[in-house]
Amino acid sequence: MLARLFARRYLFSPHSRSVVNLISGLSVAAVAMPVAAMIVLLSVFNGFESLVRSMYSAFDPDLSITPRQGRTFSAGAVDTAALARIPGVGAVSFLLEQSALLERGGRQATAVVRGVDDAYGTVFPLSDAVVTGAWRVREGDRNYLVVGQAMAWTLGVRSLADADVALYAVRRGSFSSLLPIENYTRRTVPVGGIFSLDLETEQSYVLTSLELAQRLFNYPDRVSSLVVRLAPGADAERVRRAVAEEAGDGFRVRTRDELRASFYRIMTYEKWGIFFIALLVLVVASFSVVGALAMLIVEKRDDIATLRALGADLGLVRSVFRAEGLLICALGAAAGVVLGVGASLVQQHFGLIEIPAETFLTKSYPVEFRPADLAAVLAAFAAVALLLTGITVRGMIKNGKR
């Protein structure tokens, strides 16, 4: 208590104004800037991570059920009614995916054709992403394609009035070198809608009805996966275990994070790599506190002698200046937190800083402030402040002498 009182008097006393106080104020600013920068950097990274996850959520299910052996399985091998009764399961849908060649007007492209059933819209609310036409893969007996904007541009689709696309899939079980065209199954399907998501998805996926996909790939009554949408608030891992138990040992059940485990792991590594690089900058900036503290100890050498004459031991003298250094660091951290959290929340809610790119998915830089990141920044800075002030004070005050 006494040490903190002396420290506050040294820093805030109106009768103690010197170049050391000015340097201490500059040290507060020098610490505040990197603290604020760390908070903003982590928040921006969180925003981009959430943006990527939201993009992938349009095509990556909450849970995916696939066979452990082979590429397809019979649609009747899984009791969908029993799965739907599991707490936390919101909706289920069958898919059949396979690569195919798309051709229109001499233009060609390859893509993954995803055949979907009528329940697909309840698992993936893709209708909001359709910018031209409507979300429809089947109306009555008529099948349609829903393609991405990038794929539509590649195939030369400018209007849905005349947008028939030919699909070619390799015919399984037969091959003829004399008549290569006989090695492929061909279907001509009109485009019913065009969706807009990220460039990779737009170029990679084409959606149609499950019935058409089964005929195109010659997989009658078979599917490649069963996808599950979780109910709001459901625990993904708990529901995954329940679904895996119901599906049986012949199937593998994975969450969305497990489907792209390597990608999300790399993003995590990148985030904490940025954190430690910014922390290094903060450590360098914190040396200004060391300089201010060292000058203060030199300036207060007469006060140190007085304290020693009054009976203060070495520990008390050191604690006074240690508290002074920690007070400077605390003021800098507080200012940095106010600046960093304030800037992050303003950008998160109002999007004042825009991305100079018309084709990006969001107009402004995505930002998401997380209290856990703030706690990590403060914990790391507290460790740095304790270490630097402790070493400085111990090195300059020895045996009661400066």
For 249-289, the pLDDT digits (tens) are: 999 999 998 988 888 889 889 999 999 999 999 999 999 88
Contact 364, 51 (CB under 8 A): no
| Residue 77, both tokens | 């091998």
Distance CA 398, CA 394 (A): 7
Q: Report, in angstroms and rounded to the nearest whole number, the Rg of the chain calculated over CA atoms.
A: 32
Look at residue 112 and give its three-state secondary structure.
strand
Tell me which long-range contacts 334-338 makes (C-beta under 8 A, separation of at least 24): 335/28, 335/29, 335/31, 335/32, 335/35, 335/36, 336/31, 336/32, 336/33, 336/34, 336/35, 336/36, 336/38, 336/39, 337/35, 337/36, 337/39, 337/374, 337/378
Tell me how far apart the alpha carbons of residues 172 and 144 are, in angstroms, rounded to a whole number: 24
d(CA 396, CA 228) in angstroms, rounded, equals 65
Residue 221's pLDDT is 92
pLDDT recorded at residue 178? 47
- CA-CA distance, 45 to 274, in Å (whole number)? 9
Q: Which amino acid is at 269?
A: Y
Cα separations in angstroms, 171 against 100, 144, 184, 205, 207: 11, 21, 5, 20, 20
Beta strands in 222-352 (DSSP E): 222-223, 225-230, 251-255
Write out residues in the chain with pLDDT < 50, as ranges: 178-179, 400-402
Give me the residues paired with residue 73 across strands.
223
Phi, psi of 67 (to 5 degrees): -75, 145
The amino acid occupying position 250 is G
At 377 the three-state DSSP class reads helix
**CA 43, CA 32: separation in Å to the nearest integer?**
17
Query: What SS3 class is residue 331?
Result: helix
Q: What are the backbone dihedrals phi and psi of residue 194, each rounded to the nearest 5 degrees, phi first?
A: -130, 125
* The pLDDT of residue 400: 45
CB 63 within 8 A of CB 236: yes
Q: What pLDDT digit, counting tens, does each position of 132-171 carry?
A: 999 999 998 899 999 999 999 999 998 898 899 999 998 8
- Number of residues written out for the chain: 402
- pLDDT, residue 110, reads 95
What pLDDT is stored for residue 84 in this prediction?
A: 94
Give the pLDDT score at 302: 83
**Residues in Cβ contact with 172 at an 8 Å cutoff, skipping those fewer than 6 apart:** 217, 218
Question: Which residue type does 378 have?
Answer: L
* Distance separating alpha carbons of residues 80 and 92, to the nearest angstrom: 7
Closest CA to 101 of 227, 187, 25, 3: 187
What letter represents residue 43's amino acid? Answer: S
C-alpha to C-alpha distance for 114 and 170, rounded to whole angstroms: 16
Report d(CA 175, CA 155) in Å as an integer: 28
**pLDDT the model gives residue 179:** 44
Residue 353 has φ and ψ, to the nearest 5°, of -95, 115
Backbone φ and ψ of 258, nearest 5°: -70, -30
Residues 92, 65: contact at Cβ < 8 Å?
Answer: no
